[in-house]
A and B are shown apart, each in its own frame.
Chain A
Amino acid sequence: MNGPGANSVLLRASGVTKRFPGVVANDDITLEVRRARVHCLLGENGAGKSTLADLFYGVHEPDEGVIELRGEPIHMVSPRDAIAAGIGMVRQHFELVTPMSVLENVVIGTRGEAKVDLRTARDRLGELCDLYGVEVDLDTPVGDLAVGQQQWVEILKALYLGCEVLILDEPTAVLTPEGIERLFTTLRRMASEGLTIVLITHKLHEVMEISDDVTVLRRGRVVRTSLTSEVTMADLTRMMVGRDVDLDIDVTEASRGDLVLDVSGLDVATESGRGSLKQVSLRVHEREILGIAGVSGNGQDALFDVLVGMQPATAGTIVVDGQDMAELSPAARLDLGVASVPADRIHQGLMMDFRISENLILGRQRSDRFGRRGWLNQNDIARFADDSFANYDIAAPSTTHVTRVLSGGNLQKIVMARELAGQPRLLVVHQPTRGLDIGATEYVRRRLVEERDRGAAILLISEDLDELLNLSSRIAVIFDGRIVGEVDRRDATIDRIGMWMAGVSGAPGEAPP
């Protein structure tokens, strides 16, 4: 077990308040993190988790209140002070020098020595890796590593600088399920070696799986700190959103209608060969959601891109309502009633420096609905924006505000409002709830079901199995660019889909009845 001082309070925030223009990000927060424990900060997007972590790491200073380490108040004006005090943090956006090796990246943060002794550093890093079971090749340039691997470099950096408290801000967002498993194993080991872990997340099952203590934040305030063993997921959900949320949306099976999307023998070649598609065939009908399950990187991006027209097919047909659109431009496909919600809403879906109202008409700026002969009708645009705000419950200061200021959930609502406005025949959706909080997730899923009931054919590409099992009429599994199995939702089990996702064949796709 742990030595003396175990479970004593290591890090404490008392009465901490932090204001930004127009928002109180942290409001009178008091919380204690105990030594050698894994402590989760749980909350929806915008609940104040990242701000609190930034206060612990010296990125911001609290406007009121004190942060204490080992019972003594500490003042930090920059992360340098936090590191000197023994607090390390892995932020959501990594701070790495990509052409340099892992070893060099770790050493680069050390200060005070004129000359860096790489050999000693290598030995110490090796010890750290052995101690915690971290597997990273120290000589690989960081730019060649996958994002999940780069995160390990950030963790190593913090450890190398001698942190006692390690703060991780949404570390699982960039990881595959296996990667998450590995991270959690390592974090447990670190805690048992005496390190204190603060983990920021909005995923309930992660809290249940990894943490000893959990603090729920809502709207910048602490709802409660509990022992994880003493709360249930339902308790946490209630605390997070302030009401009960039924994530299992009632999906009464609608009877499917005519065939809308008929993809057959589709090949897509990518430059690296990774993430390409081979002989993909899919069919989606009216009033039907076809889920595409798969581990990230198995061709989902290519599938989305080839369907919306951003990537050419090297073979095969994409027929929508009887018309092959494989050769058509993205604009022509929009005209055919193909709407899409991309996985990366900030880069693929929105113009962050546009006004919100402008984003709401993206793709239809030349339609008669918003103008005549190339002129935009400001009144029509404003009216549409007002309607969208009302119908989609978009929370923003005004429709003419710059899009950049919005939270993830509201950004996705803008994309949904825009894409669904044209009553699409086919809706191609990729990771629609990634990074969203519970409220927004529930909202997006409900909308998809409503859209299905209206009569749309929906192709839902997702890495979230719960989501797929909840929403899909049928689930197909993509592995290494091929559809390796397809199953009716009623017959779908996590075991069976999991096998397909892992590439274990043997039970090849059964055609739906």
Chain B
Amino acid sequence: MSTDMSTTPGSSSGSLLRRGGWRLEKRLEVKPWHEVVTLVGAFIVGLALCSILIAASDKSVIDSYRALFDGALGSRRAIYETLVQATPLIFTGLAAAFAFRARVWNIGGEGQFFAGAMGAYFVSDLWSAHLPRGVMVPVLFIGAAAAGALWASIAGVLKARYDTNEIITTVMLNFIILLILSYLLGDLWRSPDTFYFQTVTLPESTHLPLMIDGSRLHWGFGIALAMAVVVYVVLRRTALGYEVRGVGINRTAGSYKGISVPRVTVLVMAISGALAGLAGAAELAGVHHRLQLDISNNFGFVGIIIALIGRLHPAGVVVSAIAFGALVNGAVTMQIQTGIPAALVDVIQGLSLIFVLTGAVAVRYRLQRTSSDE
């Protein structure tokens, strides 16, 4: 009775795979370039799959993507506009990435964005008539950061004190802040000369200066890049960042060695909220100049995707925020030139996220050639 697997017919499907086959093996170590390849690959696969959708609607894939590219990066003007789109996403992406590093699941970036915008409007309302721009703009950003931090801290404190699930509380707080804003825009903050739910246009002293004259690219982008550097430095070079990463990796071991997990949780929430709040200030002072309900294009939620695609690394966040800014920006041109709905960009975003997340698991493995018969 032979049980030699290679000669027993139908012994198992495995033997079919054997000759000249491949198998998955766990990698001992994942190198940075593996991650970069995964990111780029995910993005390309996302675009490729969307080309099927485009082809299915009888449009030329090449023309469509050319229009997309032209609109996103095809000219100086297009590039500046891409960076304008990327600016709030860098802030909200950093906000999510910082919290997620500590495994604090702040899903409230959207609400904290609005809290920040409201904080900015509030300080502008108080002081913009009295302060010069050089002082007012920093004050505006400080107000926004404080408001975002305060709003997020509600969820942080609830989590730290009562172990309330922060995913639920932050999502709930998103609704609450929007309702508060609706109320204020309909009443106290409403511009007297309009029928709409919006404030008056803010005075010049609150306007962010432009980085490039003649474009819409404002200094909010520069501040966003600076914050990416700050977040990186805090995570890598400070005791707080050490504790944040530690709590994210193993909070049990952290507690044993004296790290106060509740304290870190509250701080992480506050800092994350402050970062999202800055996005609100940048949009208010850099683009809209008046507060209304539609100043966010889902920036808080897209920031979560940006953070995950950027592998929770500040540099990754900046790169993926710019990539998505480019997509959003290019989609408009694509829609005008080819009639393909700009919503296709949402599909590309979603698909890329799925592939990045799959890739994050897949990157821990490698394909290994299986030995052939002797």
Contact = CB atoms under 8 A, between A and B. Distances in A.
Interface stretch (B5-13, B159-167, B185-193, B221-229): B5-13
A308 interface: yes
Nearest to B2: A72
Nearest to B21: A77
B5 A80 contact: no
Contacts of A350: 250, 253
Contact of A73 (B4, B240, B253): B4
Interface string B239-251: 1101101100110
Contact of A347 (B27, B237, B250): B250
Given A80-B14, A362-B253, A72 B4 contact: yes
A330 B256 contact: yes
Contacts of B238: 374-376
B215 interface: no
Interface residues of A, number: 53
Contact of B257 (A78, A80, A363): A363
Contacts of B23: 61, 77
Given A72-B4, A78-B14, A371 B253 contact: no
Given A85-B3, A351-B250, A80 B28 contact: no
Most buried by A among B238, B240, B253, B374: B253
A371 B18 contact: no
Contacts of B374: 66
B260 interface: yes
A406 to B, nearest CB: 11
B28 to A, nearest CB: 5
Contacts of B258: 329-334, 363
Interface stretch (A102-110, A271-279, A352-360, A448-456): A352-360
Contacts of B209: none
A76 B249 CA distance: 36
Given A74-B4, A80-B12, A362-B246, A351 B239 contact: no
Interface string B17-34: 110010101011100000
Interface of B: 2-6, 11-12, 14-15, 17-18, 21, 23, 25, 27-29, 237-240, 242-243, 245-246, 249-250, 252-260, 370-371, 373-374
Given A349-B253, A351-B254, A374-B240, 18 more contacts: A20-B28, A70-B3, A75-B15, A76-B5, A78-B14, A80-B12, A80-B14, A81-B5, A84-B3, A85-B3, A332-B258, A333-B258, A351-B253, A352-B249, A363-B257, A375-B239, A376-B237, A376-B238
16 contacts: A21-B29, A66-B374, A75-B18, A77-B18, A81-B5, A84-B11, A85-B3, A329-B260, A330-B257, A331-B259, A334-B257, A340-B256, A347-B252, A351-B253, A353-B249, A365-B242
